[in-house]
A and B are shown apart, each in its own frame.
Chain A
Amino acid sequence: GRGEVGGQSPEEMIKFLILVNKQGQTRLARYYEDRSGMSAEERSTQEADIVRKCLMRGEQQCSFLEFMGHKVIYRRYASLFFIVGVDDDENEIGVLEFIHCLVETLDKHFENVCELDIMSQLEKAHFVVDEMLINGFIVETNKTNILEPIRFLDKAT
C-alpha cells in the first residue's frame, strides 16, 4: 500500500506531461512543479531517458514505471509516447485514461492528430493541454468546454 507522510495524506497531482517520440525527441513538455534546479538542457536529456525506459518495456509489462522517484504512466500512439509523471498515490488507470481523453480531444481539433500536427501547431496543442490540466490537477475533460476557447481563437483570426 501507499504510505502517508507525517500523518497527512500526500499531494496528488500531475508533475509533468510530455510527448516524446520513439527517437527521444520531445514534441511537447509541460511541468507542474517548480523547475528550479533543472536547466532546459537537463530536462531535455531526462525526457529522452524516460522514453528510453518506456521503450525497454515488453508487451507483457504494464504501463506504469518508476523514474527518479516519480511514478510514470505512459501510453504509446504510433511513434509518439504520451508520458505523465505523478505522485505516488495517483489512480494509474485514471491517468492512463486521461491521456486517452487528451488524445481524443487533440483528434477532434486537429482531425486525426499526428506528430506533425503537434509540431506545426505547438501553441494550439499547449492551449488544449492547458484547458484540461491546471496546476497539475485534471480540471476539465468535457471536450466542448476544452475546445470552445480554441475555436473562438480560430474564428477571430
Chain B
Amino acid sequence: MTHHMSREFAELVKAVGDCKSKQEEDKIMLKEVAVLRVRLSEKGAASRMKELCVRMMYCEMLGHPVDFGYIHAVNMTQHSSLVEKKVGYLAACLFLEEGSELLILLVNTLQRDLKSTNPWEVCAALSAVTRLIGPETIPAVVGQVRECCGHSSEHVRKKAVMALHRFLQKAPETVPDHMEYFRRALCDRDPSVMSSAICVLHDIARKHPPSYHNMIPSLVSIIKQVIEHRLPREFDYHRTPAPWVQIRLLKLLAILGKANQKGSEEMYEVLKDVMKRADVGTSIGFGVMYECVRTITRIYPHAALLEEAAASTSRFITSDNHNLRYIGVDALSAIVTVNPKYAAEHQMVVIDCLEDG
C-alpha cells in the first residue's frame, strides 16, 4: 500500500515535529481542531474520513479533545473497507469512555462484524469489544463472542478469550460458564491462544487459588513443553522460548503452590529445569530466572531449590548491570522472608558486593 497523506496532514506532522515548546504545540493543535471542525462538515469529508480520524487521534493524544468528531469515527466502523473499519474502531477505542451514548450506535456494527466471514473483521470487532464493552452492552455480543472462541482462525480465538475475560471482569453474571472456554483455550493447539488462556487464568486464580490447584499438572506440562523448545521457533525471543509465557506460568504456579505442599511438590522438578535453561546470559533469560526465584520463594519451601534461588540472586546482586542489581535486591528480600538462614549462607557474597559498592 502506498501510504498517502494529504498535504495538510503532512504539514501538520512537520509542524508538530518541528515545534520547540508545549505552547507552540498547543497553538498548532488549537488551529488543527478548528480546521477539523470545518473539514468534517464539508461535502468531501466521507472520502477522506480515515485521515480525518487519524488527525483527530493526534489532537486527543496531544491534549486537545475533539468531541464533535467522535460520531464520525463511530460511523466509519460501518465502512466495508477493512482499513477504514479498523481505523474507525481504533479511534472509537481511544475517544470513547465506557458508558458513552455513542457506544449504543456501535453495537449493531459490532454484532455484524463478529459474524463476518472475514476473520480480520471479526478480530477488529473483538479488539473494540474488549476495550469498550460495559455491563449494558455485554448481553448484545456475549453469545457471538462465545462462538468466536471456537473459530477456525487462531487470531480470532485468541482475541475472543481476552474479550470473554473482559466480560468476566465487568459483569461476571453474563459468563457463568467462562471456565469451560478458558480450559479449552489452555489446551488449544495454537500457542498464542494458549498464551491468552494463561494470562486469563492467572488473573482468575489469584482470587481463589484452591479452586485451581488441580490445574498444576497441566501447567507443569505446558511449561515443560515451552522450555523444551516444542513451540514453533517464531515464539522464541533472543533464543529463549516464549519467555513471557514462561513468566506468566511461573507467576501462576507461585499462586497455586502457596501453602500447598502437595501442589508444590509437583512443581519442584520443572522449576529447577526452567531456572537452568533460562541461564543463557541474556537479559530476558535473567528475567525468567528472576521470576523463577520469586516462585520458589512463594511456594512450599524446598531446600535445594532455595539454594539455587540464592545462588542466582548472588549473581544478580554482583552484576555490573544496575537493573539486575535492582531485581537482585528484591529477590534477596524474598528469600530472606522464607528463611533468613539462606541469606546468612550467602551473607559473605552480599557483604562483599556491598563493600565494593
Contacts and interface: CB of A to CB of B under 8 A. Distances in A.
Nearest to B254: A9
Contacts of A93: 283-284, 286-287, 290, 323-324, 327
A130 B127 contact: yes
A45 B19 CA distance: 16
A29 B61 contact: yes
Interface in A121-157: 121-123, 126-127, 130, 134-135, 137-145, 148-149, 152-157
Nearest to B57: A122
Contacts of B19: 25
B98 A126 contact: no
Interface string A1-43: 1100000111111000000000111101100001110011101
Interface string B148-173: 00000001001100100110000000
A101 interface: yes
A2 B330 CA distance: 9
A11 B207 CA distance: 10
A133 B132 CA distance: 15
A149 B60 CA distance: 26
Nearest to A34: B98
A35 B97 contact: yes
B130 A134 contact: yes
Nearest to A142: B234
B304 interface: no
A94 B243 CA distance: 8
Interface in B270-287: 283-284, 286-287
Given A140-B195, A142-B234, A149 B123 contact: yes
29 contacts: A1-B333, A2-B330, A8-B207, A10-B206, A11-B206, A28-B61, A40-B64, A43-B63, A62-B322, A62-B323, A64-B323, A64-B326, A91-B290, A92-B323, A94-B243, A97-B237, A97-B284, A120-B13, A126-B90, A134-B159, A135-B162, A135-B166, A140-B158, A142-B234, A144-B234, A149-B120, A152-B82, A156-B1, A157-B83
Interface of B: 1, 3, 5, 10, 13, 16-17, 19-20, 22, 25, 54, 57-58, 60-65, 81-83, 86-87, 90, 97-98, 120, 123, 127, 130-131, 155, 158-159, 162, 165-166, 191-192, 195-196, 199, 202-203, 206-207, 232, 234-235, 237-238, 242-244, 247-248, 251, 255, 283-284, 286-288, 290-291, 294, 322-327, 330, 333-334, 337
